[in-house]
Structure 1
């Protein structure tokens, strides 16, 4: 039980830890101190649902619909390219009066963006339905499988809430428009790099 739980927690945590579009968005909202709880909850619950599906054995869905990953990659690339462009535009304009005053987009637009970063990312399906689902097969007793899945879900809650609220530590550094410009350029570059990677993979599948 303990071994299964430890494996589940650290496997999921290591997969989420990589810098990605979703993490960058949560970090940004954490710096703004806006809608952090609900955004972190959305991301963690989404991961929990996908982990449950992966452990339950639904990784075979991709085998039934082989064209699904490519469609998701194209949709995700388009979304990330658009959001990255917005971040570059914000950095170019340099108008951070609203940001420095702590203002952010409303709750529902923020959650909609968070959902898009989560569900339009093909890698999240590879990690949860594929990798975590595959690792869970080594635990045959139901109790061990539940311990593995529960710990993996707990790691998502730990990470996203830690990232969202932990971002406040950087708040003193982000008190100038220049700091936000640099941050937005980095976020935009991350978004475009991931979009390019998704697009490249989707196009290679079509060759």
Structure 2
């Protein structure tokens, strides 16, 4: 039992350390949480996606990705294009305050929310680096019988983080009742997205040399 708890908390701690950094997924969940839109489905989607990718990494998918650098380059370029589009859209909201609203006029459909979430997840090579490669390597180092426990711990951290971020965002709603606060958030979103896009392009160019 002690060994199982150790494997569980090893996965939990590593996953928590990796997921808490400011990134595309976190900012998207935060924004949707502040708007109160599709938080539950997004938490389930992001948590489940992380669980699947971590399990795949522990199962050996990381070795496959490392052996196919062309796939990583394609993902990087596709992800950079998407992040650039999303970052530019955020800056457009900053420049047009009338487009910033917490009301129903600015809502997006569940399908669009999940599609955007899927793009943030599967078009972002950093997600594969964290879940498939890093988490996969750490999980593979566990004894075979404890690997599922490690994955469970890592997935639990992911679910808890996204749930806390999405549902906890409502505590900040009084602050974001002011359009100025939304402009600051969207400016941060734009900066992060364009920075991530630039890093992906630079990584892809370096890999092609």
1:148 matched to 2:144? The reply is no
Superimposed CA distance per residue, residues 149-179 of structure 1 (whole angstroms, 9 cap, x where no aligned partner): 1111111110111110011111110001111
Q: Which runs of 4+ in 1 moved over 4 A?
A: none
Q: TM-score under structure 2 normalisation?
A: 0.94
Superimposed CA distance per residue, residues 181-204 of structure 1 (whole angstroms, 9 cap, x where no aligned partner): 111111111100111111111111
The aligned counterpart of 1:116 is: 119
Superposition map of 1:89-100 within 5 A: 89-96=92-99, 99-100=101-102
SS of residue matched to 1:100: coil
SS of residue matched to 2:191: helix
The aligned counterpart of 2:183 is: 181
The aligned counterpart of 1:129 is: 132
Structure 1 residue runs of 5 or longer lacking an equivalent are: none
Q: Take 1:125 and 1:2, find their aligned partners in 2: how far apart are those partners?
A: 26
Q: Take 2:69 and 2:102, find their aligned partners in 1: how far apart are those partners?
A: 46
SS of residue matched to 1:95: helix
Alignment RMSD (CA, Å): 1.2
Equivalenced residues, count: 205
The aligned counterpart of 2:45 is: 42
The aligned counterpart of 1:6 is: 9
Q: Take 1:123 and 1:131, find their aligned partners in 2: how far apart are those partners?
A: 10
Q: Take 1:137 and 1:80, find their aligned partners in 2: how far apart are those partners?
A: 31
Shift of 1:96: 4.1
The aligned counterpart of 1:162 is: 164
Structure 2 residue runs of 5 or longer lacking an equivalent are: none
Q: Take 1:88 and 1:63, find their aligned partners in 2: how far apart are those partners?
A: 35
1:83 matched to 2:69? The reply is no
SS of residue matched to 2:173: helix
Q: TM-score under structure 1 normalisation?
A: 0.95
Q: Take 1:173 and 1:72, find their aligned partners in 2: how far apart are those partners?
A: 37
